[in-house]
Amino acid sequence: MGKPTGFFEFQRELPTDREPLVRIGDWKEIHHHHSDEKLRTQGARCMDCGVPFCHTGKLISGMAAGCPINNLIPEWNDLVYKGLWREALERLHKTNNFPEFTGRVCPAPCEGSCVLGMNRPAVTIKNIEVSIVDKGWENGWVIPRPPVKRTGKKVAIIGSGPAGLSAAAQLNYAGHNVTVFERSDRPGGLLMYGIPNMKLEKEAVVLRRIKLLEDEGVTFKCGVNVGTDVTVEQLRKTFDAVILCVGATKGRDLPLPGREAKGIHLAMEFLHANTKNLLDGKAPDASISAKGKDVVIIGGGDTGTDCVGTSLRHGCKSVIQLEIMAKAPLTRGKDNPWPEWPKTYKVDYGQEEAAAKFGSDPRVYLTTATKFVADEQGNLKEVHTVEVKWEKNDKGQFVPTHVPGTEKVRPAQLVLLAMGFIGPEQPLLESFGLERDARTNIKADHEKYVTNLPGVFAAGDCRRGQSLVVWAFNEGRGVARECDRFLMGKTELV
């Protein structure tokens, strides 16, 4: 698609970001935006590649390759190149309920599988996607579209994160009466409280879409803890179907000596409190503060990066990020061929900001913590670390082993544990009597989403385990399709 010779004529170009030392002074979005002309040029780079791997959405070597929600990427790239923005938005909304979210926070496995990316820089798919939907909002093309008629069926969705929102949007579109229960004070789940404002603005982006869903007929009930405020029996008696989209919110802890010291927190405790304070009009660091502190973040990934960026905005004294894995190579390894997701070295916004502030990338590789030490008042004062090397054990598995002589004592008054999530919280699942798999996730087959209870479905991270936002959107749409089939005997949802 696009201009037939565009990929020869034009280079990959992304809009610049705001200067790091400027943007750490606020909580506003970090990106600038391209002009229409530049976006059309970038759309022109999309090839008529015959087999567009960008929208295949397959798992290869355990990682997403292509778009999990099967966005019609070559088609809307071509429409952008031709200046047909409204048509591009319509094509984008066919597969994606919330492109303003994926266009900002998705790691873009589509670009990792772009055919042009085999030997040239990939098409700027993610930036074109968010530009299409932003233009749609700016021009008033994104408007409430309530269903023409209602079926009379009632569906309860527990959890208003990515999976819950996409399920709600689809089932409402099918004409069902949808009520979304959220235990937090605001809807959005991970999108609201798990991703900082500078990466995904809440009022301008998240709540704008929530308001649209409400105008289309979706009901949100916040501050409701299902299992306590509303019993499982009441829910199943009142609604024709129930969908659990409660995420995998149980963070991985690090039970080292000294873990009881004051100043050690799971990353999501820190990020949630920061965003809630910001939205409530309080100082963002009113609950857990990094101001003036030496901060040690244990773990990499997006959550670790978000902790870096948030700590800098608090005004931390220093920040380092411990990663137990080795530094990734600059280019694809032979064991990481296209169209797999490229496991290459990347500098995200948080690391860029830390380097601008303190002079270097905050990540320390092949290093792990061994113990925490508190002062006389029980407040954390230091973290002991050691370097590791990866070696095979007697079962042939690679495991980290400590390297003698590499021990260090690092000052720290705040430690944030960003080592991922180990599954959904169990009390609600137990109150339902749901079967779980070996990883404590709700047992329900992909593409079916049916639990061991009739009329009760599960989707998203609580079913598949910790994963990408875009996979949650995939599962939210999928569970809506199967729930609609259960309610009506057939479905037109995709």
Angle at the Cα of 42 (from 40 to 44), degrees rounded to 5?
70
Amino acid at 417: L
Whether pLDDT at 315 is above 90: yes
**Is the residue at 271 inside a domain?**
yes
> 241 near 486, Cβ under 8 Å?
yes
Evaluate if residue 75 carries a pLDDT over 70.
yes
Residue 364, domain member (yes or no): yes
Domain with 400, as residue range(s), is 253-419
Euclidean distance between CA atoms 117 and 113, whole angstroms: 7
Q: What is the pTM of this model?
A: 0.95
Query: Distance between CA 368 and CA 406 in Å, rounded?
Result: 11
Is residue 268 domain-shared with residue 410, that is, in the same domain?
yes
pLDDT, averaged across the chain: 96
Encoded tokens for 308: 């870096």
CA distance 272 to 467: 19
**Residue at 148 is within a domain:** no
Distance CA 303, CA 315 (A): 19
Which residue among 387, 419, 451 closes a domain?
419
Tell whether 209 is covered by a domain. Answer: yes
- Are residues 187 and 326 located together in one domain of the fold? no
* Whole-number Å distance between alpha carbons of 383 and 399: 22
Helix (H, G, I), strand (E, B) or coil at 453: coil
pLDDT surpassing 90 at residue 4: no
Cβ atoms of 293 and 411 closer than 8 Å:
no
pLDDT confidence band for 208 (50 / 70 / 90)? very high
Cβ contact 33:109 at 8 Å: no
Contact 291, 285 (CB under 8 A): yes
User: Which residue, 107, 131, 120, 99, is CA-closest to 49?
Assistant: 120
Within a domain: 73: yes
Peptide bond into 74 cis (omega under 30): no
Q: Which of 77, 102, 76 is nearest to 90 (CA)?
A: 76
Mean pLDDT of 457-461: 98
Domain boundary among 104, 138, 172: 138
Are 262 and 359 within one domain? Answer: yes
The pLDDT > 70 percentage for the chain reads: 100
> Same structural domain for residues 257 and 406?
yes
Q: Which two tokens stand for residue 315?
A: 């005004």
Do 227 and 269 belong together in one domain?
no
Residues 259 and 396 in one domain: yes
Angle at which helices 36-44 and 73-81 pack, to 10 degrees?
130
> Closest Cα partner for 440 from 460, 458, 420, 423?
423
pLDDT at 287 over 80: yes
The residue among 44, 40, 68 whose CA lies nearest residue 54 is 68
Render pLDDT for 324-354 as a digit per residue (tens, 0 to 9): 999 999 999 999 999 999 999 999 999 999 9
**341 part of a folded domain:** yes
Query: What is the CATH classification number for the domain harbouring 334?
Result: 3.50.50.60
Residues 22 and 122 in one domain: yes
In the chain, the percentage of residues whose pLDDT exceeds 90 is 95
Residue 145 included in any domain: no
- For 57-71, 216-230, 357-371, which range has the lowest pLDDT when averaged over its residues? 57-71
Nearest to 243 by CA among 208, 218, 267, 223: 218
Same domain, 412 and 427: no
Q: What is the domain count for the chain?
A: 3
Same structural domain for residues 415 and 283? Answer: yes
Average pLDDT over residues 19-29: 98
Q: Identify the domain boundary among 91, 113, 138.
A: 138
| 274 & 168 share domain | no
Tokens of residue 5, six digits: 């010779």
What element of type H or E holds 470?
A: helix 469-488
Q: How far is residue 160's CA from residue 210's CA, in Å, rounded to a whole number?
A: 10
Structure tokens at 47: 């090839």
- In the block, residue with structure tokens 């269903």: 147
Contact 444, 438 (CB under 8 A): no
**What CATH number has the domain bearing residue 93?**
1.10.1060.10
Helices 85-93 and 125-138 cross at an angle (nearest 10°) of 110
Provide the pLDDT confidence category of residue 48 given band limits of 50, 70 and 90. confident
Cβ-proximal residues to 96 (8 Å cutoff; 6+ apart), any chain: 69, 71, 102, 129, 473
Radius of gyration of the chain (CA): 23
**Residue 244 contacts by C-beta under 8 Å, 6 or more apart in sequence?**
158, 159, 428, 429, 432, 434, 442, 451, 456, 457, 458, 459, 462
Q: Does residue 263 lie in a domain region? A: yes
Place of tokens 């990866």: 390
Least confident span in 53-57, 215-219, 259-263, 368-372: 53-57
The pLDDT value recorded for residue 1 is 58
Instruction: Name the token pair of 270.
Output: 């820190």
Through-space distance between the first and last CA atoms of the chain, rounded to whole angstroms: 24
398 and 456 fall within a common domain: no
Grade residue 54 by pLDDT with cuts at 50, 70 and 90.
very high
Residues 445, 399 share a domain: no
